[in-house]
């Protein structure tokens, strides 16, 4: 009798989740996510990050008839900095919000199904607002990172926590805001905290349990490890050379945070992570290239080995984080990757080898370098635009002030670009601004800002800061541009309908003709947009969605520019659009 009861319980435990749960998200589904028009299964609309949908029910001829289908507020008192890309699966939308919140929404009606609000401790240290950029789906789980540097996996149907793992100490400056990446059955994440002298790394976990599989630091000299199922770690012999490209002990607190996460190309089997600034910002304290800061690193997903790296800004002195997304695409019969770097140059690298194929400016007034030498792959610096060494000043306290373009908030920052294989163009949300910057002495203190620099961001044009630019990766030509008064901080979506969608801090979601840049439609969402739009079709109707809610780094760090945009109102809501009859 007892045995039968036990069996019955086992049977029901097996049957209930099978009967009620969502369709499990598999590796096969994720590897084909870029061509799945019925769902949005990953960040980037496919792990390659092209942000292209072949859908064309909404197109240049009819986009003017786009109207709201529903909207949902994140609620709460703390509405700000909504940088999230929603996911759509099995009739549900999963969307993260500021302060480490996540919602499941009925994608037809906009009704909230469940929400999870992560309990954040006092003393979290996100550098650039309380943002989150999205979740990952795997099996029946939805997984996201939190501002206190944890990963949380929830059941897609119930919102119940299935596992929770700490990435690192938030009190040392670690946090997590990027969308996790799934590649070859592993959950790949980076870390935020480059302004606090943390050491960047890429981690691979079992997405079903959260247990570590391997970890690969992104500062030369630090050990990488492989973990067995009991959590015992062994050095995996992929740790680089201690001290190489770093003076003295600086590598121990070397930065190179992997704060924007990564992309994965099933065609190369490699995951691509960008790395942030070397720490501290004062470059005179760390002569050398400071590997692997301000770089793209390509990792073998199975082992964590860095297969190649390419450094966009060796010995960075301007906080030109190389964190930007490496978007893989086909060019001249080759698999390559495009990256619009924070330093103002657009790079095209061979996706398999890292060899530099092309590099050109995508903002117009770059001063720190004259060009990128395609033979050596290195920037041709203008030494007069490197902030001066404070040690060489009269009192040793402040080096020469220089004016550098772009500002440290970058020719492009966290807002993802899109690539349309139909037009062969990248659509890059760019910003034209500069900064006064100077260096000061600084010493590392755990949990303290580790910059050794002061700065003020300034405008460089009277009429605009932001510019959405259509860029030909082969020629480097800007095919069209649309200027924007405020700095652009949201991402881009492009479609087979010949459209480009993007949001502005002024609150508009806009649709442009992908070939000409002509504005075809816009809608005021009630707060600034700093997030990338998505699209999907339920089989009969195509939808476009975006999150609205002003915030992010600009109002916090923008100097003179922050004053210019202080009239913008904060918010937090999801908007979904469809064509009216
Ligand atoms: Ca940085």
CA–CA distance, 139 with 130 (Å, rounded to integer): 28
pTM metric for this prediction = 0.95
Kindly give the distance from the C-alpha atom of residue 294 to the centroid of ligand 1, in angstroms, as a whole number.
Answer: 9
CA–CA distance, 15 with 19 (Å, rounded to integer): 6
Kindly give the distance from the C-alpha atom of residue 572 to the centroid of ligand 1, in angstroms, as a whole number.
Answer: 26
Hey, what are 182's tokens? 């799934």
Measured from the Cβ of residue 445, the count of other Cβ atoms closer than 10 Å reads 11
Q: Compute the radius of gyration of the chain from its Cα atoms.
A: 23
Kindly give the distance from the C-alpha atom of residue 451 to the centroid of ligand 1, in angstroms, as a whole number.
Answer: 9
Q: What are phi and psi of 6, to 5 degrees?
A: -60, -45
Domain 2-579 -> CATH class:
mainly beta
Q: Which residues contact 253 (CB under 8 A, 6 or more apart)?
A: 197, 198, 199, 279, 444, 450
Kindly give the distance from the C-alpha atom of residue 452 to the centroid of ligand 1, in angstroms, as a whole number.
Answer: 13
Show me where the domains of the chain are located: 2-579
CA–CA distance, 62 with 520 (Å, rounded to integer): 9
Catalytic: 462? no
Residue with tokens 């476009």: 544
Residue 19: its pLDDT value, please? 39
Full pLDDT tens readout for the chain, 581 residues: 344 444 444 444 444 344 346 799 999 999 999 999 999 999 999 999 999 999 999 999 999 999 999 999 999 888 899 999 999 999 999 999 999 999 999 999 999 999 999 999 999 988 889 999 999 999 999 999 999 999 999 999 999 999 999 999 999 999 999 999 999 999 999 999 999 999 999 999 999 999 999 999 999 888 899 999 898 999 876 566 777 899 999 999 999 999 999 999 999 999 999 999 999 999 999 999 999 999 999 999 999 999 999 999 999 999 999 999 999 999 999 999 999 999 999 999 999 999 999 999 999 999 999 999 999 999 999 999 999 999 999 999 999 999 999 999 999 999 999 999 999 999 999 999 999 999 999 999 998 999 999 999 999 999 999 999 999 999 999 999 999 999 999 999 999 999 999 999 999 999 999 999 999 999 999 999 999 999 999 999 999 999 999 999 999 988 889 888 999 999 999 999 999 98
Query: Is the preceding peptide bond at 354 cis, omega within 30 degrees of 0?
Result: no
Residue 500: its pLDDT value, please? 99
CA–CA distance, 502 with 190 (Å, rounded to integer): 26
Kindly give the distance from the C-alpha atom of residue 409 to the centroid of ligand 1, in angstroms, as a whole number.
Answer: 9
Residue of 129, 168, 289, 319 marked catalytic: 319
Kindly give the distance from the C-alpha atom of residue 318 to the centroid of ligand 1, in angstroms, as a whole number.
Answer: 9
């Amino acid at each position: 009798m007892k045995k039968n009861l036990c069996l019955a319980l086992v049977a029901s435990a097996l049957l209930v989740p099978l009967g009620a749960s969502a369709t499990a998200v598999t590796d096969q589904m994720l590897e084909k996510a870029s061509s799945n028009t019925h769902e949005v299964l990953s960040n980037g609309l496919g792990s390659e990050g092209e942000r292209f949908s072949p859908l064309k029910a909404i197109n240049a001829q009819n986009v003017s008839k786009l109207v709201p289908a529903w909207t949902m507020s994140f609620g709460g008192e703390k509405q700000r900095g909504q940088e999230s890309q929603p996911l759509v699966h099995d009739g549900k939308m999963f969307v993260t919000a500021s302060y480490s919140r996540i919602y499941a929404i009925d994608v037809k009606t906009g009704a909230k199904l469940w929400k999870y609000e992560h309990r954040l401790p006092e003393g979290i240290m996100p550098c650039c607002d309380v943002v989150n950029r999205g979740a990952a789906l795997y099996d029946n789980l939805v997984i996201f990172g939190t501002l206190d540097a944890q990963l949380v996996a929830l059941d897609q149907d119930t919102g119940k926590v299935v596992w929770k793992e700490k990435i690192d100490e938030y009190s040392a400056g670690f946090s997590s805001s990027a969308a996790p990446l799934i590649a070859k059955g592993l959950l790949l994440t980076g870390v935020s905290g480059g302004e606090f002298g943390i050491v960047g790394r890429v981690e691979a976990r079992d997405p079903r349990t959260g247990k570590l599989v391997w970890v690969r630091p992104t500062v030369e000299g630090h050990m990488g490890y492989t973990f067995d199922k009991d959590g015992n770690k062994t050095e995996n012999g992929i740790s680089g050379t201690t001290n190489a490209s770093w003076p003295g002990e600086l590598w121990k607190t070397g930065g190179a945070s992997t704060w924007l996460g990564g992309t994965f190309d099933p065609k190369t089997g490699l995951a691509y992570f960008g790395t942030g600034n070397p720490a501290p910002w004062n470059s005179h304290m760390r002569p050398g290239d400071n590997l692997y800061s301000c770089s793209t690193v390509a990792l073998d997903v199975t082992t964590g080995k860095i297969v190649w790296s390419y450094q966009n800004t060796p010995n960075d002195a301007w906080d030109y984080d190389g964190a930007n997304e490496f978007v893989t695409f086909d060019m001249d019969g080759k698999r390559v990757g495009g990256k619009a770097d924070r330093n103002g140059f657009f790079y095209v690298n061979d996706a398999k080898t890292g060899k530099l194929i092309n590099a050109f400016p995508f903002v117009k007034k770059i001063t720190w370098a004259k060009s990128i030498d395609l033979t050596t792959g290195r920037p041709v610096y203008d030494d007069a635009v490197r902030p001066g060494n404070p040690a060489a000043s009269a009192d040793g306290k402040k080096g020469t002030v220089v004016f550098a373009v772009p500002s440290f908030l970058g020719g492009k920052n966290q807002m993802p670009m899109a690539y349309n294989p139909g037009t062969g163009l990248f659509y890059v949300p760019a910003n034209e601004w500069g900064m006064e910057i100077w260096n000061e002495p600084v010493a590392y203190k755990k949990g303290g800002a580790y910059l050794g620099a002061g700065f003020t961001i300034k405008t460089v044009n009277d009429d605009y800061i932001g510019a959405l630019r259509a860029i030909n990766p082969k020629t480097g030509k800007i095919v069209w541009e649309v200027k924007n008064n405020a700095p652009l901080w949201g991402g881009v979506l492009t479609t087979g309908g010949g459209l480009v969608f993007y949001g502005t801090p002024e609150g508009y979601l806009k649709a442009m003709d992908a070939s000409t840049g002509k504005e075809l439609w816009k809608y005021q969402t009630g707060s600034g947009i700093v997030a990338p739009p998505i699209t999907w079709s339920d089989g009969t109707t195509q939808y476009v969605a975006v999150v609205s809610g002003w915030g992010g780094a600009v109002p916090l760090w923008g100097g003179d520019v922050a004053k210019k945009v202080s009239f913008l109102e904060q918010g937090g809501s999801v908007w979904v659009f469809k064509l009216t009859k």
